[in-house]
Amino acid sequence: MIQLKEVTKRYQTRHGMHEVLKGVNVTIGLGEKIGILGRNGAGKSTLIRLFAGVERPTSGQVERSMSISWPLAFGGQFQGSLTGLDNLRFICRVYGVPYDDKIEFIQEFAELGKFLREPVKTYSSGMRARLAFAISLAVDFDCFLIDEIITVGDARFHNKCQTELFDKRGDRTFIIVSHEVHKIREHCERALVLKDGRLWDFTDREDAIRFYQELQ
Amino acid sequence: MAVTYGTARLWEGVRIQARVIGALLLREVITRYGRHGIGVFWILLEPMLFTLGITAIWYAVKLHAVSNLPIVEFAVTGYASLLLWRSATNRCVKALEPNLGLMYHRYVRFHDILITRCLLEFTGATASFAVIVVVFYFLDVVRLPADPLYMVFGWLLLCWTGLALSFIVGAAATFSDTVERFWHVVNYLALPTTGALFLVDWLPHHFQDLVLWIPMVHGVEMVRHGYWGDAVVTHEDPLFMMAGNLFLMMIGLTMVKMAERRIELE
């Protein structure tokens, strides 16, 4: 379970403090598939970083009682001068899981071929995203945080994600943030809308989508 | 599955931190030294060349004519001690920016990055000191330390100072870019005051009182006391140094905590 209680987040800007989140309350249980809709700049990535625990709230509480992935985004989490394989080893060491038996899976899933042993800075953004996804599957979390990433790959990669993530790991929690309604409809049972620094909860996914679409 | 969650207990925290620092060490060695050529041996070689160079210069300008102390031993103990805090702080003054991507992993904390960089520098400085002393001993250039245990004690206290200072400048550098430029200057200008170039006993009394406020001076005195035994007069106060280190460490930890709260990922 992840629980946010009265969470606020403010950032220092040149024009003073900017409040991105103004008191967010939400509880997400094990196995839930949550979609969070929000327009550009609504604070989606900030929210996902708070879920992940890589940034701390300005006030309020975040409680976690399941293992949560890092925010799977466009591969900013990799060291460019290291190879894909080095990055796999590093991340496995940090999370305390073995990596030897994962190399084959990573190579196959991420479709990197010999590039697995090349520096990540030579990768395309699609390759980075695939590597990020593959490594997170290797560590095997209870909850996956996904920041728009599914939009990166092509149709084939999309299908693979569908199988590996949403079919084989269907018992896990997914929190997907996106500004695209159809992604949320495809993967999520429950949808929330991030607007004006607050998270709007709906009992019916379609109500959330309607609410979101009326914003635009 | 080894991933832990919830309120981690203390030992669990220690275990995670050891794991993270281990991973960071391996990563840092590869990114910094690469896999080609002699690679990881540069950790040892870099400080060694530095110490040897300085020793050679001092020897060449006949500093040994000034004092009756063995110049090589004087230079090696001074410069190796100096390297401990000097290179550690220099490596930590801009530690966050190139590692910001790592902060995407909840277990990786800013202080882990600083500790990792310090450990590498300490390892290099210590190994190079040991190699120089052993090699020179067999070449009949230096003697072995009279009281190795006391020397190691001083050495460890100097490492502690280096770590505390690294926390301070590492955190300060995240608040303002000016800190980095400023620190390199301070670091250089502080060089003559921190004990590498003199024995406290050589100084006039009022200067002695002044320099003994600097923790590093006590550390270098200890290292030399340990090296030469009672053949020289030294003025260190290990308790004062420990108190000073504790004080610096508390400032450092507070600043790192403050810096961490302000970290913004891309």
A30 touches chain B (CB under 8 A): no
Task: Name which residue leads in pLDDT, B16 or B266.
Answer: B16
Tell me whether residue B30 is in a domain: no
Residue B35 lies in a domain: no
Asked whether residue B138 is domain-assigned, the answer is yes
CB contact under 8 A, B104 and A77: yes
Considering only CB atoms, A67 lies closest to which of B3, B16, B264, namely B3
Distance of residue B36 Cα from the nearest chain A Cα, in angstroms: 13
Domain of residue B79, residue span = 40-265
What is the structure's pLDDT at A47? Answer: 92
Query: CB of A66 within 8 A of CB of A145?
Result: no
For residue A2, give the chain B residue with the closest CA: B6
Cβ pair B1:A81 closer than 8 A = no
Residue with the bigger pLDDT between B104 and B159: it is B159
- Kindly state the helix (H) or strand (E) to which residue B120 belongs, with its residue range: helix B110-138
What is the pTM (predicted TM-score) of this model? 0.89
The answer to whether position B8 is within a domain reads no
pLDDT at B1 over 50: no
Which DSSP string do the residues of B7-18 spell out, in sequence order?
Answer: S--HHHHHHHHH
User: Does residue B146 belong to any structural domain of this protein?
Assistant: yes
A169 or B218: which leads in pLDDT: B218
Q: Give pLDDT tens digits for B49-77.
A: 888 888 888 888 766 666 677 888 988 99
* pLDDT at B2 > cutoff 60: no
The secondary structure of chain A as a DSSP string is -EEEEEEEEEEEETTEEEEEEEEEEEEE-TT-EEEEE--TTSSHHHHHHHHHTSS--SEEEEEE-S-B---B-SSTTS-TTSBHHHHHHHHHHHHT---GGGHHHHHHHHT-GGGGGSBGGGS-HHHHHHHHHHHHHHH--SEEEEESGGGTS-HHHHHHHIIIIIITTTTSEEEEEES-HHHHHHH-SEEEEEETTEEEE-SSHHHHHHHHHHH-
**Total domains present in chain B:** 1
Q: Is residue B80 part of a domain?
A: yes
Question: Is residue B195 included in any domain, yes or no?
Answer: yes
Q: What is the model's pLDDT at position B23?
A: 95
In a domain, B32, yes or no: no
In contact, A212 and A193? CB cutoff 8 Å: yes
**A93: pLDDT strictly greater than 50:** yes
pLDDT of residue B8 exceeding 70: no
Choice between B1 and A184, residue whose per-residue pLDDT is larger: A184
Contact call for B103 and A54, based on CB within 8 A: yes
In chain B, residues with a C-beta closer than 8 Å to the C-beta of A71 are: 104
Contacts of A11 in chain B (CB under 8 A): 264
Q: Which of A31, A68, A24 is nearest to A46 (CA)?
A: A24
- CA dihedral in degrees (B109, B111, B113, B117; nearest 10)? -170
